[in-house]
Amino acid sequence: MKKREGKRKSPFTSYNDGRIYGFFVMLSFDALALIYCIYLCKKRDLPLNSLLGLFSIRHGSPYIWAFTVIGLYYLITWIIYKIRCHIIIKNGELHSSAELIDFDYVSKLGTRSRYYSYKVKLPDGRIIKTEKYMFNNYYELVSKKCTVYEYKGRYYCTKFR
């Protein structure tokens, strides 16, 4: 049986790539709140235009507004991150044979939110730290190689192998 060729999804999910999931979670909370409000309007025989009052800034539900604002924050920061990555890849210098040499724990709230950062040795001998990643896949790599793009002191690591 032949292995299927094609683009494989990297097990290295950066913290910033994960922000799009936060956007969809907040969007789903907003959708559930909207469905619940429609249900209440139908149950109480209220016209659906009274539903609009629940979404107004002055009389609206703080939960709906909080989910919307947080979701938009996640979406905007994810878009900015993707634009920056695109600029680094498009204009940056390519280091195709960079080597992962170690990893560090990066945590914000103790052991509850633990992220990982990798130390990468570039071909010219410099050692850089990558951005935060959600999982530690360091021991699963066979060759400990990756591709690094460098542009104006910023780095973007990809194609871990």
Report the amino acid identity of residue 19.
R
Residue 84 shares a structural domain with residue 27: yes
Residue 6: predicted pLDDT: 43
pTM value surpassing 0.85 = no
Query: Where residue 85 falls among pLDDT bands split at 50, 70, 90?
Result: very high
29, two tokens: 């909370």
Asked whether residue 2 is domain-assigned, the answer is no
At 101-130, the pLDDT tens digits run 998 888 766 666 778 899 999 999 999 999
DSSP, res 97:
E
Residue span of the structural domain in which 128 resides: 94-160
Domain boundary among the residues 68, 88, 108 is at: 88
Residue 76 shares a structural domain with residue 125: no
19, two tokens: 């922000």
Which contacts of 23-26 are long-range, i.e. CB under 8 A and separated by 24 or more positions? 23/71, 23/72, 23/74, 23/75, 23/78, 25/71, 26/67, 26/68, 26/70, 26/71, 26/74
Domain boundary among the residues 88, 108, 130 is at: 88
Asked whether residue 84 is domain-assigned, the answer is yes
Asked whether residue 3 is domain-assigned, the answer is no
Report the amino acid identity of residue 29.
F
Query: Where residue 5 falls among pLDDT bands split at 50, 70, 90?
Result: very low
Asked whether residue 81 is domain-assigned, the answer is yes
Number of structural domains found in the chain: 2
Residue 74 shares a structural domain with residue 113: no
pLDDT at 92 over 80: yes
At 7-59, the pLDDT tens digits run 445 567 888 988 999 999 999 998 888 888 788 778 888 787 776 666 666 66
